[in-house]
Amino acid sequence: MSNWIFGGASEPKTDPYKKVAKVPPSKTIPVPKYYIDTPNGIAVKFPGGIPREPTTTNDNWRGPLGTYNILGTPTSPSSGGGYSQSGGGGGKSVPAPKPTWSTTYTSPYAPSWWLGKTPSIMDDKSKYAALLNALIPYLSPEDQRTYASNLYRNYAEAFPEYDPELMQYPIPPGEVTTEIKQRFTEKERAEQALATLSQVAGITGQTDEKMGTGYKFLRNLLSVLKDFGGESAENQQTRQQYLQQMGALDPLLAEGKSSELSPYSSIAQSLASPYFTAGQAVPIQKTSDGRYIFGQANRQLF
């Protein structure tokens, strides 16, 4: 029997005998091709979808059959015999681009081996790594080594220079001197750390809102250290200022244990109470009834 039928929905009623091709059920109707004018005046055809004007010669065009560049070349092949959009049906999605890292800023508190790096793309992972790295200069030498090694283990592509097998970290101080105590209790340290966080946000084109809750949490903590820090070598932090600082930090550090802020709780603690193997920057003990007692126990008595 012939595969021709008479008539058709689109044919005029005055011509009922014109033959129209009948498409067998087993075949699919090909997707029409559309044409657009490119900036160089050459007509280019794109399979499927609604045409639009490309903005640059590298502009990608997304349609029902996948992603095409300005020359009509498919850029997202799928395993299902066609081309798929990112996040589309049964084809393979286009992987998200990875950020590249560049050294873009410095810090007066930074050790010689540290690099002020920022990513080209600020997603959740790169943002977290950038913030941790930005605060390394304001930690004790022991904590600096810990966080740099952590960045290498978890973000080796971004921080290959922090490989602990290649690094020559300085030996931590054998005692907590007056200069060390001043450096870690003065407000200038917190002011410089706040300025560094602002640099990271500015270089990457982010607002405080886009930087997220963790960024705001770290800024709040550093603001406390600034408000109660010492002014200079002649006007160092007093015991009263330190107690007021601890009173303001306690609820913040407790909040840092929440699920949303927990990734930042460790470095927040390291900023608030720098760890030195030689002892505390501010020798103080908290009693069972919540009182603070300044000074270290005499080791000769034990």
pLDDT tens, residue by residue, 258-288: 999 999 999 999 999 999 888 776 756 666 6
- Structural domain harbouring 255: 101-294
pLDDT of residue 225: 96
Nearest-5° Cα angle at 173, 172 to 176:
135
The verdict on residue 225 lying in a domain is yes
> Does residue 66 surpass a pLDDT of 50?
no
In a domain, 245, yes or no: yes
Which pLDDT score, from 0 to 100, does residue 18 have? 53
pLDDT score of 67: 47
296 pLDDT band (50/70/90 cuts)? low
Q: Flag whether 187 is in a domain.
A: yes
* Residue 157 CA from chain centroid, whole number: 14
Amino acid of residue 277: T
Which of 50-54, 115-119, 247-251 shows the lowest mean pLDDT across its residues? 50-54
Beta carbons of 266 and 132 less than 8 angstroms apart: no
Note the pLDDT of residue 222: 97
Closest CA to 129 of 151, 99, 153: 151
Report the pLDDT value the prediction gives residue 88, as an integer from 0 to 100. Answer: 47
Who has greater pLDDT, 219 or 290?
219
Q: What is the pLDDT of residue 93?
A: 72
Q: What is the pLDDT of residues 157-207, one digit of tens each?
A: 999 999 999 998 888 888 889 899 889 999 999 999 999 999 999 999 999
Is 228 part of a structural domain of the chain? Answer: yes
Give the span between the Cα atoms of 286 and 89, in whole angstroms. 60
Residue with tokens 């930690």: 139
Q: Is the pLDDT of residue 30 over 60?
A: no
> Is 237 contained in some domain?
yes
In angstroms, the CA 197 to CA 211 distance is 10
pLDDT at residue 151 above 90? yes
* Domain annotation covers residue 59: no
The span from the CA of 271 to the CA of 49, in Å, is 55
pLDDT digits (tens, 9 = 90+) for 203-260: 999 998 999 999 999 999 999 999 999 888 788 888 899 899 989 999 999 999 999 9
Q: Is the pLDDT of residue 101 over 70?
A: yes
Q: Pick from 240, 268, 274: which is nearest to 253 by CA?
A: 268
pTM score, whole prediction? 0.65
Long-range contacts of 81-86 (CB under 8 A, 24+ apart): 86/62
How many domains are there within the chain? 1
Is 61 domain-assigned? Answer: no
pLDDT of residue 71: 44
Q: Is the pLDDT of residue 40 over 70?
A: no
Closest CA to 283 of 6, 163, 274: 274
The answer to the question of residue 262 being in a domain is yes
